[in-house]
Amino acid sequence: MKNEINQPGAENPEELLDLKVTEPKTWAAGIPAVTAAMSDILEEAGAVRGMEGLFHMNKKGGFDCSSCAWPDPDDDRSPIAEYCENGAKALAEEATTKKLTAEFFANNPVADLAKLNDMEIGKKGRIAQPVYLPKGGTHYQPISWDSAFEKIAQHLNGLDSPNEAAFYTSGRTSNEASFMYQLFVREFGTNNMPDCSNMCHESTSVALAEAIGIGKGTVTLNDFYTTDVIIIMGQNPGTNHPRMLTALQKAKEKGSKIIAINPLHEAGLMGFKNPQTVKGVLGVTTQLADLYLQVKINGDMALLKAIEKLLCEAEMETPGQVFDHEFIKNNTVGYVEFLNHLQQYTVDELAMAAGVPVRQIKEAADMLKNKSRIIICWAMGLTQHKNGVSTIKEIVNLAALKGSYAKPGAGLCPVRGHSNVQGNRTMMIYDKPYEKQLNKIKEVFGFEPPRAHGYDVVDSIKAMNEGKLKVFFAVGGNFLSATPDTNFTAAGLRKLKLTVHVSTKLNRSHLVHGEEAIILPTLARSDKDIIGGEAQFVSCENSMGVIQMSKGVLDPISDNLLSENEIVCKLAKATIGNRTVVDWDKYAKSYDAVRDLIEKVIPGFDDYNKRVRQPGGFYLPNGPREGKFETDDYGNRIAFTIAGLPEHNLAADEYMMTSVRSHDQFNTTIYGMEDRYRGIHNERRVIFMNRKDMQNAGFEANEKVDLYNNHGGVERVARLFVVVPYDIPERNTATYYPESNVLVPIDSVAEKSNTPTSKLIFIKIKKHNPAGLN
């Protein structure tokens, strides 16, 4: 079976741009970061509007950056800037003065817009009024808010079952809007709540909830300043979380060592030129990684076991000097069984499976041997694998051996990729809610919420294609470009009766739609939110469990925008009508009233309205930080888990492919065509290959190729990529997403979490066939 991309535009281009390749960088940020950020701000927002936004971004009393979820410092926030290059670019995108009016949509058929690449679509500007695409229509056309809500309500109320609708959430959505959204969806009658976490840190949430009793990290930002060793696995902070570099620099200044683990040598793991310091401006580089372990794709489990094996041998030589036996005795189960499991391996075979020399693994073990103040960080490079949950539990094992919990400078640090994605889950945006959460909803509101689990992202896409879903409603995000198996997802969206997107800007998901489609324009984080003449604020949760306020400062580009919370409340009222037990009008107008509800339903939000107004906000309760592990299955202890090594048997002409971000993008938002850290300019359709692999396969640098995946008997093809020789392990390759998402099979998912395995896809590479013929 053949599965060709049939969308026009960037997903199946007819020609490439003028690719330029330069030497990759060995450091991140510096003056080039400032220059790039200011260039975007000036171009999109102008000097006055842009600088007004930047001055208030991530400041106490200002607004939370809409990109990554790295925390703000509790006390020592920069007087110059609390944002990074990519944060400034995110602000430029939403603070742009370009707007899409009725005239724009009248002059641009959907089919023509779909021919643009993702960057060109996003650069068009902010959507200025609700628009509607009728069945058989070729152009979006204006629609009033009331008519839009009425039409959506008609579709929802006309379903045979509430389970024929799915309600997606992006990580940008505030706590207040997220809570009211899940309340609406559950009163409507379904738990079909796919969200962006399903595609990123779902493996983390599952693994940590089972292993330590909470699906979140255990450290605070201040722990980075008292730690001895920081391990960074499957994460590229220079591009994905640039503000983390400042914390790493400060940790280094205080004596911490850093171990970086990644298949690619990434600039932001090697060095940092801090543009807010004199040395950084003068070009002085702070070395970050003291040891760089260039692991094979999905070699992390083998590497962790090799380190544990060496630590175990050191413990046997000097009993009681390497492992924290008091912590193990008082807080864990399964220790002996775990040690017995390790005995089946040799360090040599584990090193071979990891692709890392034994001498380097020994160096890593030596760095950890006499330390317990250890922080382990990770991101998508671990979570988006079939064994993602098991690998994260192996991190839990390592930290438990060292007693790296409930002490300053120690713990687990999953680095979330999208602002408030963690807050969404805290607000119960979840397709598999816990019984105690549903019982609390019933207690507070008086209605019986649905108990059956709903659809996550992968299940929703399958349900679309199977005709089980009729309506898809999304608050934020770019669902089509973010999801796996692009053509399969597109086919599912086109089978729907109605697709609705709450958005700030145009994206590809608006152009691949159901029989009818509606776009509801909403306020951005940086926009003022005025209700009844009073400026409102929302709240967000960062990667370390801090709840803080976010208050926009910029005038919206249109008077015809509504906040996400108001959209949700008005739609709920229109849909549920006199059947509702919720005063939706009240909560549409008062965010304080919404926070009062949250306080009643969700633990940890006592005195919410008071504490969120405190500068810097407040920390949510976190049991493992205090040595409390609420693991019901293991008697409130951490269970050492036992997992085997993944097996990858490649055919002679087969490669492992991982997908990565360019430095000029955030998730699916493409800011530009420059990935200066990796030396890629003016093009995104590239495949990074090992030079030996190129020579063996007969490929030249800059040669045009097509990429194939044949998972499950379906041929998936991504055409017209350029081969770039790169420092990457043999038989490993890397491409940018979303361009390569078409190769990610819908049913290649992580065990337990159902997360698409976007970081390990098996591909074949063939010389480009312009005609697309076999």
Q: Per residue in 714-726, pLDDT tens?
A: 999 999 999 999 9
What residues form DSSP beta bridges with 472? 166, 499
pLDDT value of position 635: 87
What is the 3 state secondary structure string of 695-716? Answer: HHHCCCCCCEEEEEECHHHCEE
pLDDT value of position 80: 67
For residues 196-221, give the mean pLDDT.
Answer: 96
pLDDT-based confidence at residue 12 (cuts at 50, 70, 90): low
For residues 117-125, give the mean pLDDT.
Answer: 95
pLDDT-based confidence at residue 73 (cuts at 50, 70, 90): confident
Cα–Cα distance for residue pair 384/659, rounded to 1 Å: 10
596-612 pLDDT, tens digit per residue, is 999 999 999 999 999 99
pLDDT-based confidence at residue 9 (cuts at 50, 70, 90): very low
Q: Which of 31-35, 156-160, 188-192 has the lowest mean pLDDT?
A: 31-35
Smallest CA-to-CA distance from 173 within 414, 474, 556 is with 474
Smallest CA-to-CA distance from 546 within 606, 493, 622 is with 622
Cα–Cα distance for residue pair 207/196, rounded to 1 Å: 17
pLDDT value of position 78: 65
How many alpha carbons lie under 13 Å from residue 226 in its C-beta half-sphere? Answer: 12
Smallest CA-to-CA distance from 564 within 112, 171, 147, 96 is with 171
Phi, psi of 606 (to 5 degrees): -60, 140
| CA distances for 523 relative to 505, 551, 555, 565, angstroms | 10, 12, 10, 10
Average pLDDT, whole number, for the chain? 95
pLDDT value of position 82: 79
Contact criterion met (CB below 8 Å) for 681 and 756? no
pLDDT over 70 at 772, yes or no: no
- Give kind and range of the element (H or E) at residue 331: helix 325-331
pLDDT value of position 69: 81
For residues 5-22, give the mean pLDDT.
Answer: 64
pLDDT value of position 340: 97
Q: Could you give the angle at the alpha carbon of 165 between the alpha carbons of 163 and 167, nearest 5°?
A: 115
Cα–Cα distance for residue pair 94/613, rounded to 1 Å: 25
Smallest CA-to-CA distance from 36 within 79, 78, 70, 87 is with 87
pTM: 0.96
Q: Is 593 helix (H, G, I), strand (E, B) or coil?
A: helix
pLDDT value of position 753: 98
Q: Where do we find the tokens 């970050």? A: 288
From the number of C-beta atoms within 10 Å of its C-beta (0-12, 13-18, 19+), residue 51 rates as middle
pLDDT over 80 at 77, yes or no: no
* Angle, helix 347-354 to helix 358-369, in steps of 10 degrees: 110
pLDDT value of position 143: 98
